[in-house]
Amino acid sequence: MASFTIGEEVLYEGARYVITLRQPQPPYRFRLVRTTPKGPEVAWAVADELEKIEAYTTPRSDTPQD
C-alpha cells in the first residue's frame, strides 16, 4: 500500500484530486477535493483506491545538456 500525504495530488476514478484530510484512525480514509466547472467536488477514498501521479514519481532528466 502506498503512503499519501496532505496536499498531495492523486488520481481517483481517473480524475485528479488533492488530499485535504486523512482520518486519524483506521480505516484510514482520505478527503479529496477537486475543482470542476460547476464548483468544488469532494470525495472520500481509502488508499487502495488512490493512484500516485506518474509524472511526479518517475525520475527523468530535464536538465539541458550543452
Going by the DSSP 8-state scheme, the letter that residue 14 receives in this structure is T
Cα-based torsion angle of the residue sequence 24, 10, 64, 60 in order, rounded to the nearest 10 degrees: 90
Write out pLDDT tens, residues 7-27: 999 999 999 999 999 998 888
Q: Give pLDDT tens digits for 27-66.
A: 889 999 999 999 999 999 999 999 998 776 666 666 777 6
Q: pTM higher than 0.95, yes or no?
A: no
First to last CA, the chain: 41
